[in-house]
Structure 1
Amino acid sequence: MRPEIIRMFNENQEFRLFVRQHPQWYRTLSRDPSAVQALEKEANRFYGRTFPQRVEKMQSNLGLAMMMMEMLKMGQDTVAQTQETFNS
Structure 2
Amino acid sequence: MREEIRMKLVQQPELREFLRYHPEWYRHLSRQPDKLNEMEKEAKYFYGRTFPQRVEKMQNNVSMAMMLMEMIKMGQNTVTETVQSVTN
- Provide the TM-score with structure 1 as the length reference: 0.98
Structure 1: distance between partners of 2:6 and 2:41: 18
Give the letter for the 1:8 counterpart: K
Q: What stretches of structure 2 of length at least 5 have no aligned partner?
A: none
1:11 maps to 2:11: yes
Structure 2: distance between partners of 1:57 and 1:29: 31
- Provide the TM-score with structure 2 as the length reference: 0.98
Secondary structure at 2:49 match in 1: coil
- Which consecutive aligned stretches of 4+ in structure 1 deviate over 3 angstroms post-superposition? none
Report the identity percentage: 56
Give a deviation string over 1:26-58, Cα, whole Å, max 9, x none.
000000010011011000000001110001000
RMSD: 0.4
Q: State the partner residue of 1:57.
A: 57
- In the TM superposition, residue 86 of structure 1 has moved relative to its aligned partner by 1.1
Matches within 5 A, 1:59-74: 59-74=59-74
Structure 2: distance between partners of 1:18 and 1:40: 9
